[in-house]
Structure 1
Amino acid sequence: MRNYFLLLFLVFIGSSIQAQDAVMHASETATFKEKVITSAKATQTIKSDFVQYKHLDFLSEDVKTSGKMVVKAPNLVKWEYTNPYQYSVIFKEDKLLINDGGTKSKVDIGNSELFKKLNQLIVNSVKGNMFNDADFTVSFYKSSKYNKAVFVPKDPKIAKYIASFELLFNKDDAQVYEVKMVEPSQDFTRIIFTNRILNSTINDSVFNN
């Protein structure tokens, strides 16, 4: 089974705020949050392709993988890597279902508050609805191309794995199109979503291992 770090890549942040990003004013922040929350509440299912870049300081190039993501409210999530290897992770009913190139395994996360929290972060980060999470300090930025929310965990258990999240939102529909996560080591994982389809019918069988 692959390294458990693959569970933490999700949710899917940048090591610094780019120069072209400006801090949102309070009124801008309120308007932005309202738009994102409205969009998230209206989103029951998500299908999307993704490309993931894993940056490690000791490598000269980022490790690139790609695949498909499926989310169904309230808490079903599937990440399926299709290139360069076959690997899927499903969060379902306090279980973590793993299929590593045909080798299947199941991990009970029902007694782990940390993994429960990570699962909820996965859903909320992809939908963009993390603003009311008391476990994070949130800062808001804007540029000509996107709006950005940066989340720094307050919970030491989460901070042990995740230094910060960064969500980039389309300005027009307030949908998340990029999730980035930085580890305490400053290595980071960046996920870019494309071909997103909202509120299509998704059978629960999709979330079977």
Structure 2
Amino acid sequence: MKRIMRYGLMACLLACVALGAFAQQPADAAESRKMVAEVCAAAAEMTSLQCDFVQVKQLSLLQTALTSKGRMYYRGGDRLRWEYMSPYTYTFVLNGDRVMLKSSEKTDVVSVRSSKMFQQIARIMLNSVTGRSLADGGDFEVTMYKSGTEWEARLVPQQKELAALFSEVRLHIDPKLRMVTVVELRERGGDTTRIEMRNVRKNGAIDDALFKVQ
């Protein structure tokens, strides 16, 4: 379960609503630059984001998918709350350089600075929620695709720590809202995680207490 939650949080990290069913066509270089620029421009205007999510984990050795549900809150550059509510409860809160991990049994608070891996994950999570990860060539090699209903960004990890976990990350983007709507994580071992964001609310007020780390 901890493994499932960890990869789910990475997807949080990448961030928000529906998956199109049309075949994707690769975008040319000029189109790719335009698409990335438009997503990043929308991200620059984002001050907060909150939504429900449904996470489906497909293990390569099992035919049955594991489904969990929860809620996500993001605000102001360095605050993120990723909360699982069903079928178990687990909360991840990032506030600046501190992280709180809370389960039904215990609560741990750690410093992001305590490990290079944690620093990378925290930065990628925040950038992915807003869409800024598309412009970060140091973390991913990005290839853009398009169809009539959505854009898709396929990200191949360039950092060895992340490359050891994931072969590819796919972000599905609403071309009208210029926002990530679905995140797919493809692991080296063949497992996949799909996170769909629902009931998205952008730039609304969010209580400070949701990001409290103690």
- TM norm. shorter chain > 0.5: yes
Contact 2:58 2:66 in 1 (8 A): yes
SS in 1 for 2:148: coil
Structure 1 equivalent of residue 112 of structure 2: 109
* 2:135 is the counterpart of 1:132: yes
2:207 pairs with one of 178, 197, 203 = 203
The one-letter code of the counterpart of 2:69 is: S
Return the structure number with greater helix share: 2
Structure 1 equivalent of residue 9 of structure 2: 10
Distance apart, 1:95 and its partner CA: 2.5
SS in 2 for 1:131: helix
Q: Which stretch shows the higher mean deviation, 35-44 or 97-106?
A: 97-106
How far apart in 1 are the matches of 2:7 and 2:118? 9
Structure 2 equivalent of residue 47 of structure 1: 50
How far apart in 1 are the matches of 2:124 and 2:109? 20
Structure 2 equivalent of residue 141 of structure 1: 145
1:58 pairs with one of 46, 56, 61 = 61
Equivalent positions of 1:44-123 (< 5 A) are: 44-101=47-104, 103-123=106-126
Runs (4+) of structure 1 exceeding 6 A deviation are none
Q: Which runs of 5+ in 1 are unaligned?
A: none
Structure 1 equivalent of residue 17 of structure 2: none
Change (3 A) 1:82 1:104: same
* 2:183 is the counterpart of 1:179: yes
How far apart in 2 are the matches of 1:76 and 1:4? 23
SS in 1 for 2:132: coil
Instruction: For residues 159-197 of structure 1, give each alpha carbon's deviation from its aligned partner in whole angstroms, at most 9, with x where no partner exists.
Output: 112221110000211111101111111211110001111
Q: Which runs of 5+ in 2 are unaligned?
A: 15-20
How far apart in 2 are the matches of 1:43 and 1:121? 16
- RMSD between aligned residues: 1.9
Distance apart, 1:5 and its partner CA: 5.0
* 2:35 is the counterpart of 1:32: yes
SS in 2 for 1:185: coil
The one-letter code of the counterpart of 1:162 is: F
Identity %: 25
Contact 2:4 2:57 in 1 (8 A): no
How far apart in 1 are the matches of 2:108 and 2:201? 29
Structure 2 equivalent of residue 22 of structure 1: 25
Distance apart, 1:43 and its partner CA: 0.5
Distance apart, 1:205 and its partner CA: 1.4
Contact 1:11 1:126 in 2 (8 A): no
The one-letter code of the counterpart of 2:37 is: E
Contact 2:36 2:135 in 1 (8 A): no
